[in-house]
């Protein structure tokens, strides 16, 4: 399957460099570019990519707000590619629905692998960020008042999938573990987003971890 990608950055040289890097891969096609967040929303709506590489600091509309708008309307994976590495910005991007976060100092192979992993349903973080994100999730505490059945609105299948989402597993890995099709997992994930009012995978994971999922 060819992975359709949109590249968003306000610097032309960065857009062209990333487009050339990804366009040279046999399994990836760059189907659009945008120079700011507002343009990105329109380009993504028209091009219907699988993955968006998104800068954060851009004119008109920043990458985090653009990500929130995009993931709220479409089933698309957004990987932030930026110079910002402070914890507040990383977590804001995750809450907006980002599926990954890389620094612009990342190597070509890391960017390529991130696009493939995101397209497969995984969460992606650069090497310098991965340990910090893991520590954030590990440090989250369950609710002070025990809840007998968190998220009772979920079906048994959705709860099984959410448990594995919270553990950081990709859609492919979940399908293999539950002995179901990828379509079944995708449908369950969509149901989880709708019922938990989550903008995307990262927000659903945060809610699940806070409720005690993914700790087994």
Closest CA to 80 of 65, 93, 71, 91: 93
Confidence of residue 137 (pLDDT cuts 50, 70, 90): low
Per the confidence metrics, is the pTM higher than 0.85? no
Domains and CATH numbers, the chain: 3-136 (3.40.50.2300), 156-210 (1.10.10.10)
SS3 101: strand
Closest CA to 40 of 20, 62, 57: 62
C-alpha pair distances (Å), 45 with each of 94, 181, 215: 21, 27, 36
Q: What is the C-alpha end-to-end distance of the chain, expressed in Å?
A: 33
pLDDT for 197: 87
Confidence of residue 147 (pLDDT cuts 50, 70, 90): very low
């Amino acid at each position: 399957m060819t992975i359709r990608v949109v590249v968003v950055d306000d610097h032309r040289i960065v857009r062209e460099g990333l487009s050339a890097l990804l366009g040279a891969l046999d399994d990836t096609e760059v189907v659009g570019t945008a120079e700011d967040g507002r343009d990105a929303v329109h380009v993504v709506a028209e091009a219907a990519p699988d993955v968006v590489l998104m800068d954060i600091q851009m004119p008109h509309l920043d990458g985090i707000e653009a990500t929130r708008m995009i993931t709220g309307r479409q089933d698309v994976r957004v990987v932030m590619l930026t110079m910002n590495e402070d914890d507040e910005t990383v977590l804001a991007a995750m809450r907006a629905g980002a599926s990954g976060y890389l620094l612009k100092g990342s190597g070509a192979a890391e960017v390529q692998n991130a696009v493939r992993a995101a397209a497969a349903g995984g969460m992606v973080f650069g090497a310098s960020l991965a340990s910090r994100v893991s520590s954030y999730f590990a440090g989250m505490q369950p609710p002070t008042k025990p809840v007998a059945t968190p998220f009772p609105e979920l079906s048994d299948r959705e709860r099984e999938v959410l448990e594995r989402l919270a553990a950081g597993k990709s859609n492919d890995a979940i399908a293999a573990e539950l002995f179901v099709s990828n379509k079944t997992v995708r449908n369950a994930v969509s149901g989880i987003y709708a019922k938990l009012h989550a903008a995307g995978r990262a927000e659903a994971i945060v809610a699940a971890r806070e409720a005690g999922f993914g700790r087994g």
